[in-house]
Amino acid sequence: MPSSRVLRRLALTALLTASLVSAAPSPAPRPTAPGPSAERGGTNLLVVGIDRRSGMSRAEIQRLHVGGKECDCTDVMMLVHISPGGRRLGVVSIPRDSYVPFAAHEGHEAHSGKINGAFAEGGPDLAVRTVEKATGVHVDHYLEADFPGFVEAVDRLGGAEVCTATPLKDINSGLELPSGRHAVDGAQALRYVRARHVPPPGDLGRVRRQQRLVLGMLARLSEAGAFTDPLATGRAAYALARSVRTDAHTSARTLYELARSLRHLDLAHTEFATVPMSDFDHRVPDWGSTLLWDEPRAKALFDAVREDRSLVEGRTAQGVPVGMRPETVQVRVDDPVTTEALRANGFDVTAAEPPAGGRAAGPTVITYDPSRARYVDTLAAALPGAQLRPVAGQGPVFRVTVGAAEQRVAKVIYDRSMVEGAPVTGDRLRCG
């Protein structure tokens, strides 16, 4: 694990990596004065990545796999909280399709929309005020970025480390990574954080990869011995401040002081979370499919940010979170006790005759068609210790053969937010 001495000098890099460092250094409009959140405890930064291709050549667009029509909206949005004295760093990712009320702005009646559209309607000022309205958290500093600057920043800082248990391939982003650990350059890192068609799919999986990349940068720079003295930290702050677009009261000195304040930070006190959702396909005229926040849990998360409390501690679930609804999983089970327990969990269960010759030695076995692989984790969560065995051509029904050992059935709850975006500390999120 990286030492606290190294981590305190890398924290700035983590923040700026998350912001998808931009090549547009001019100040962004932001009328609100800094300071209010510092009085309540800590400092809050809003870091965003902009989906913009203006100024990029066709060759550069093709090289970076960022084709398509730009929306000039926020493609990435992270609310970063630094506790007083730097004892904790919290990062809350806000998915771009979140459906929220927009802050008041000239020329528009009061309305709601996807949070990424606030920037398109009113630039940085409206984006910040909309985040403040939706979260109840005051934003002290704003950092903005685009595609080319992110690539440049990752390359300048020596690349990043990422890992994956399964091969990742996404045609749209150009990502192609075999399983294992990898050192990636800026272009590869961009493909990794933009991929949406790899497991887990959609915005929450993409957000988690963005969070993992931040940790990957920390690990890579720690191994290289970067920023081992205050002078090096100052040079990094100055160089990166020239690359990012910030509000008028966020300077290189600001970034340097924030980084130096984290002198006691370690990975166990670096926390990542994603806003919890209640609906992943909330349909709205003019906006299409949106993400609807789970209001009680979202409020609790942002209350923790505002009150400078841990994002992780005190979060309990009533069961094992699973990413698919149990009623969508068809199961055939050869043990009556296990059958009833799975039914009580909501699974679509059919009873099968117990084996005539008695239970086979060994664990319970779940056989399934590989085409249903996205559902198998939900069933496996309910049957801890069961062995998974893919069988081509088996069809949509999972088959559970209970072994001689007693099979416990765990209570599961459908909660994609907790599966794909649960609050987690950096030491648990990083590559093993």
Q: Is the pLDDT of residue 391 over 90?
A: yes
pLDDT in tens, 27-80: 565 544 444 454 458 999 999 988 888 888 999 999 998 988 888 899 899 999
Written as one letter, the residue type at 212 is R
Answer whether 145's CB lies under 8 Å from 49's CB: yes
Answer whether 151's CB lies under 8 Å from 166's CB: no
Written as one letter, the residue type at 337 is V
First to last CA, the chain: 10
Q: Tell me the C-alpha distance between 212 and 429, whole Å.
A: 7
The torsion angles phi and psi of 19, rounded to 5 degrees, stand at -80, 0
CA-closest candidate to residue 274, choices 217, 206, 324: 206
Looking at the DSSP bridge assignments, the partners of residue 50 are: 74
Longest dimension (CA), the chain: 77
Answer whether 75's CB lies under 8 Å from 52's CB: no
Cβ-Cβ contacts under 8 Å for 311 (sequence gap 6 or more) = 90, 92, 271, 272, 273, 301, 304, 305, 423
Looking at the DSSP bridge assignments, the partners of residue 290 are: 282
Q: Tell me the C-alpha distance between 276 and 296, whole Å.
A: 9
How many other C-beta atoms lie within 10 A of the C-beta of residue 114?
23
Question: What 3-state DSSP class applies to 214?
Answer: helix
pLDDT of residue 33: 45
The percentage of residues in the chain with a pLDDT greater than 90, rounded to a whole number, is 50
Looking at the DSSP bridge assignments, the partners of residue 292 are: 279
The percentage of residues in the chain with a pLDDT greater than 70, rounded to a whole number, is 83
Return mean pLDDT, the chain.
84
- Dump strand ranges (E) for 12-145: 43-50, 74-82, 89-93, 99-101, 112-114, 141-145
Q: Which two tokens stand for residue 345?
A: 């969990």
pLDDT in tens, 269-285: 889 999 999 999 999 99
Cis peptide before 355 (omega within 30 of 0): no
pLDDT in tens, 311-342: 998 766 678 999 899 999 999 999 999 999 99
Q: What are the C-alpha distances in Å from 331 to residues 72, 360, 382, 399?
A: 46, 19, 12, 6
Written as one letter, the residue type at 176 is E
- Report the Cα 212 to chain-centroid distance in Å: 8
- Residue in the structure block whose two tokens are 């990794």: 192
Per DSSP, helices labelled H in 278-387 are: 295-306, 336-344, 373-382
Looking at the DSSP bridge assignments, the partners of residue 112 are: 101
pLDDT in tens, 189-236: 999 998 888 877 778 888 999 999 877 776 665 554 444 557 766 766
Give the pTM: 0.83
pLDDT in tens, 129-162: 999 999 999 999 998 878 887 887 777 767 788 8
Ramachandran assignment for 316, one of left (phi > 0), alpha (psi -120 to 50 degrees), beta (any other): beta
Q: Tell me the C-alpha distance between 276 and 295, whole Å.
A: 8
Cβ-Cβ contacts under 8 Å for 316 (sequence gap 6 or more) = none
Answer whether 98's CB lies under 8 Å from 81's CB: no
